[in-house]
Amino acid sequence: MKKEIFIGMFTGLVANAIGLILAAVFLGNGEDFAVVIKAAAAEGFLGKLISLGAILNLLVFFIFIRKRQDHRAKGVLLITVFVAVFTFVFKLF
């Protein structure tokens, strides 16, 4: 059971990273990924960009639910909550 939750957490983290990269590429108007991330941090919308990246977690979550892999879906949900708390704390400071 713990292994399945860990697999879900890892999958959610990878999906979030891929979503962040895709969001940066699409919203960056052809800029390099590193340039977009630096600009987002400088302009104060890096938290929003990270939250956009978490949209892919929704897709992964529903795939796991549909396959009846509830523990993996729980891991994805844990990572999504962690990202939400992280962006909230990041926004405060």
Place of tokens 């639910």: 65
Q: Give the chain's mean pLDDT.
A: 92
Give the pLDDT score at 13: 96
Name the 3-class secondary structure at 41: helix
Q: What is the largest CA-CA distance in the chain?
A: 43
Please state, in angstroms and rounded to a whole number, the distance separating the CA atoms of residues 51 and 89. Answer: 13
Q: What does pTM read for this prediction?
A: 0.87
Place of tokens 């708390």: 85
> What percent of the chain has pLDDT above 70?
100
Backbone angles phi and psi of 83, in degrees to 5: -65, -40
Residue whose token pair is 């890892």: 10
Which of 15-19, 31-35, 57-61, 75-79 has the lowest average pLDDT?
31-35
| Vertex 63 angle, CA 57 and 68, to 5° | 125
54-84 pLDDT per residue, tens: 999 999 999 999 999 999 999 999 999 999 9
